[in-house]
Structure 1
């Protein structure tokens, strides 16, 4: 019988071990105690009746839906929006914003009830792009 695993490779498993050690380190433990888990997948028992009502159809926001293939065509619009916001605030690189978020990866992960199978850098780029995209509607560029 084949075993089921969340890992695609040995390096994925090594990354997992490193993440677990980071999460329970003294520097992160006090942070994790203060953050309530607040972002959930909709339980099957709620979404079973009308699943399309509980999933995005046009734009993916957040790491749970960000890499869904059917939503990826709109990703370029989010990137254009992010660029417009960066230009508005005279920031020239998305990389700068991601670097400013660098120390928040643990906070972000702690806000999700399921394991996010993304490297910190991918998670931070996802959050930065989505945040800038949402910010565009507030600043009316």
Structure 2
């Protein structure tokens, strides 16, 4: 399976090569609501702050549990937009295994996480003027 990431226009495209005709067909990623989600190898989902791309609202939250069915898989995270104020008012907590990271500011959490399961928890408390986040998560071999 060949994958392309086009993150310049808020679009992630996965291209699947057909077994019979060798033509490519784009597969749109799923925008994951605030629920648990199970993925297969090669699947891509988009995770976004509530209401994205609108500005964040006061006292919103979202929890997502993401699991790749293959126990040996890893989860790749690529954020096109990551703009949260200080951690007191807005934060994204990424937890996996026994590790937990609280993220805020403009540092994008891009990379491959050494796990097939993670929990994302987004919380806002006060007055917000941030754009939030828009990230893709890929189930990798």
Q: What interval of TM-score do these two structures reach, taking the shorter chain for normalisation?
A: under 0.3
Q: Give the TM-score taking structure 2 as reference length.
A: 0.22
Q: Pick the structure with greater CA Rg.
A: 1
